[in-house]
Chains A and B, each alone.
Chain A
């Protein structure tokens, strides 16, 4: 059974810092990997999707990397802003498009 671990569980940083969120998964036979953000009481917003043949994806201030062989992905956020405050979820795709979510990293960016 796939298990997904996200470190750290919570992070509080001042505005402007660059930060790294880590995700590890136990079964490397994944299809893709997706990063989401979730604001309190809301649904999930997709941030980045890394296909299994790719090593990284970038969108604006966000960059995600994937190393399937070691079962790791990282999400890099550059120049953090208070609006980045949310819970960030990592979700490897198992075959059949089944997403398995980590517990998330709660990020707070202080102004």
Chain B
């Protein structure tokens, strides 16, 4: 069982909907990450938070809005997504930004 918990496991939404993905860890890690993984492709980094502050934004479109309200929780707010945004969204955490990352099982997102 993974120690990084992502909810929901599956999400289907229309292009006009607003939804959020949630990621939690209780390992005391202070760095958290969002990745996007398209089918049969490797994960691609989207955002990095270090000590609850946004550290890296890989030029992600503004329809994806990350939020780190505390050291255990990372959200990804979604609005006006496109069909090409359908993917597996993975969350990861690490003790600090230069330590090994632990991944959750992901949220599989489908945009209608």
Residues of A within 8 A of B (CB): 4, 31, 34, 36, 41-46, 49, 89, 93, 96-99, 101-104
Asked if B59 is at the interface of the complex by the 8 Å CB criterion, the answer is no
Q: How far is the CB of A43 from chain B (nearest CB, A)?
A: 4
Given known pairs A43-B105, A96-B56, A97-B48, the reply for A34 and B100 (CB within 8 Å) is yes
B98 near A43 with CB under 8 A, answer no
Chain B binding site: helix, strand, loop or mixed by DSSP?
strand
Given known pairs A96-B56, A99-B45, A101-B42, the reply for A43 and B2 (CB within 8 Å) is yes
Instruction: Tell which of A34, A43, A101 touches B104, judged by Cβ atoms closer than 8 Å.
Output: A43
User: Which one of A46, A93, A99 has the greatest number of beta carbons of chain B within 10 Å?
Assistant: A99
10 tightest A-B CB contacts, nearest first? A101-B42, A43-B103, A44-B103, A43-B105, A97-B97, A97-B98, A49-B100, A43-B104, A43-B106, A42-B105
A101 near B48 with CB under 8 A, answer no
Which residues of the partner chain A approach B2 to less than 8 Å between Cβ atoms? 43
Which residues of the partner chain B approach A4 to less than 8 Å between Cβ atoms? 42
